[in-house]
Amino acid sequence: MERYLHGTSLVHRLDPRLKLLATLAFVLAATITPPHAWYALSSLGALGWAAVLASGIPVPYILKRSSIALPFAGMAAISLPFTHAGEALWAGRLFGWTLTVTDQGLWLFLSVIAKAWLSVLVSGLLVATTPFPDLLKAMRTLHVPPVLVTIISFTYRYLFVLVDEALRLQTAREARSAGPGGTVLWRAKVLGGMIGSLFIRSYERSERIYQAMLSRGYAGQLQTMTQLAWGARNTWIGIGWSAALVAIVILGFVTV
């Protein structure tokens, strides 16, 4: 669960609020950059990789973590090459449908993949260089709704508990089964029972945890020992990062 990698680099030492705002600004810049502005997208990639190199995080680790976005982005954008007008690059029939891949649709598909990958790359860098309690503290300091911060913290804290509970249910099912056989309907029935049991156990556990927190003085907001300090270095780096993003976005609209 913990994706933080200890380090003493400049990126590690930056204020978590700056890193969170810088990541959101990068994602926003990647989103509003025109799809065919490849000079701008290349500049965003260079800026993101400069931050990665400055952090000292191993490149294979970042590549592995950021590649998780590619299948999801590909599934979301798979229809773009076939639905946008442009010069036909390929045409064929599939299940009675005529499919045509256009150059404009293909470029749009590639730009969506690139934007998603760059956004996850920088987001992964944020998580890898910032302890999760510090991120929660930064969210509260930036006036993110307390309910949202609490939900994120509980999801992070107890997700592994749900995974462990599901594994125990799976082990119990395998211990009571003579083999992997059974019809599809039988498997669906067993799976539905496991999901229902997991939901009931999770609900009961959440009630016990909530009562335990109330008995320990919980008043709707989690408290941490982290103290954040914003120095002049964070200000100058924030200004430089913002200026670079604004220049890249302008470049994208000028060169498109």
Q: Report phi then psi at 202, rounded to 5.
A: -65, -40
Q: How far is CA 28 from CA 6, 140, 143, in A?
A: 28, 21, 19
Q: Say what the pLDDT of residue 178 is.
A: 57
Sequential DSSP letters for 43-75? HHHHHHHHHHHHHT--HHHHHHHHTTHHHHHHH
| Least reliable range by pLDDT among 70-84, 93-107, 135-149 | 93-107
**Residues 51, 92: one domain?**
yes
Whether residue 64 lies inside any domain: the answer is yes
Verify that 65 and 28 share a domain, yes or no: yes
- The verdict on 122 and 235 lying in the same domain is yes
Range with lowest mean pLDDT among 3-12, 91-100, 186-195: 91-100
Q: Are residues 105 and 197 in the same domain?
A: no
At 47 the pLDDT is: 94
Looking at every residue in the chain, the average pLDDT score rounds to 84
Residue 124 lies inside a defined structural domain of this protein: yes
Name the most confidently modeled range: 8-22, 65-79, 87-101, 195-209: 8-22
Contact present, 40 and 255 (Cβ < 8 Å): yes
- Displacement of CA 129 from its chain's centroid (Å): 15
Higher pLDDT, 108 or 52: 52
% the chain with pLDDT above 70: 88
Does the pLDDT at position 213 exceed 80?
yes
123/170 same-domain check: no
Q: Both 235 and 113 in a single domain?
A: yes
- The average pLDDT across 142-167 equals 84
User: Is a pLDDT exceeding 90 seen at residue 121?
Assistant: yes
Residues 23 and 115 placed together within one structural domain of the fold: yes
**Is residue 183 located within the same domain as residue 235?**
no
Q: How many domains does the chain have?
A: 2
Q: Which residue has the higher pLDDT, 80 or 194?
A: 194
pLDDT tier at 182 (50, 70, 90 boundaries)? Answer: low
Judge whether 245 lies within some domain: yes
Cα–Cα distance measured from residue 232 to residue 239, given in angstroms and rounded to the nearest whole number: 11
What pLDDT is attached to residue 197?
Answer: 85
Of 105, 81, 33, nearest in space to 255 by CA: 33
**114 in the same domain as 18:** yes
The strand ranges marked E within 112-197 are: none
Mean pLDDT of 66-93: 76
74 Cβ partners below 8 Å, 6+ apart?
113
Same domain, 97 and 197: no
Structure tokens at 227: 């103290």
- The most confident of the ranges 39-43, 93-97, 190-194, 197-201 is 39-43
Whether residue 2 lies inside any domain: the answer is no
The answer to whether residue 23 is domain-embedded is yes
**Residue ranges making up the domain that contains 89:** 10-131+229-255
Residue for token pair 């190199």: 53
Beta strands in 87-213 (DSSP E): 88-94, 97-102
Assigned token pair, 256: 């498109």
Specify if 1 maps to a domain.
no
Residues 44, 113 within the same domain: yes
Q: Which residue has the higher pLDDT, 60 or 97?
A: 60
Q: Which residue has the higher pLDDT, 202 or 89?
A: 202
Q: Is the dihedral of CA 74, 76, 78, 83 positive or negative?
A: negative
83-92 mean pLDDT: 70
Q: Please state, for a pLDDT cut of 90, what percent of the chain lies above it.
A: 26
Judge if 98 and 24 occupy the same domain: yes
Specify if 139 maps to a domain. no
Residue 189 forms part of a structural domain: yes
What pLDDT shows up at residue 51? Answer: 93
